[in-house]
Amino acid sequence: MSNQNVEKDKIEKTEIDPGEELKDKKTKVDPGEELVDFYAPSIDPERDMPLFLSVNGENVRVMRGETVKIKRKFKEVYDHSVEQERANRKAYEKIQRESRQALADL
């Protein structure tokens, strides 16, 4: 019987602590660290410089005109910068139109 008690003690000690599950969940990979395909269009093939992307002090250079694997967080930064550039261009064009119209109305 004492052997059964010893074996039972061993089993109880080897059971997973409920806190261990939480530790495992915390070690899951951050979605921003996932690798994704990325393509930066080539602007001028003869003079293209690598595209520099930075997120929280982590940097990467990407050759234009080639599909590469980069972390999702870098692709998100690039996508946001492209959207911001589009918004800036639209705002600039709107101001230019309004300015021309104001001058024509004088």
Q: What's the pLDDT tens digit per position in 17-34?
A: 555 555 555 567 788 899
Alpha-carbon Rg for the chain in angstroms: 28
Q: Which residue range(s) make up the domain with 71?
A: 30-105
Q: Does 6 have pLDDT greater than 60? A: no
In a domain, residue 48? The reply is yes
Residues 6+ apart with CB under 8 A from 29: none
Predicted model pTM = 0.64
Total domains present in the chain: 1
Contact 67, 53 (CB under 8 A): no
In a domain, residue 9? The reply is no
In a domain, residue 66? The reply is yes
In a domain, residue 24? The reply is no
In a domain, residue 63? The reply is yes
Task: Determine the average pLDDT of the residues in 33-62.
Answer: 91
pLDDT computed for residue 98 by the predictor: 94
Give 61-76 pLDDT, tens digit per residue.
999 999 999 999 999 9
Which tokens belong to 60? 């990467």
Q: Does 14 have pLDDT greater than 90? A: no
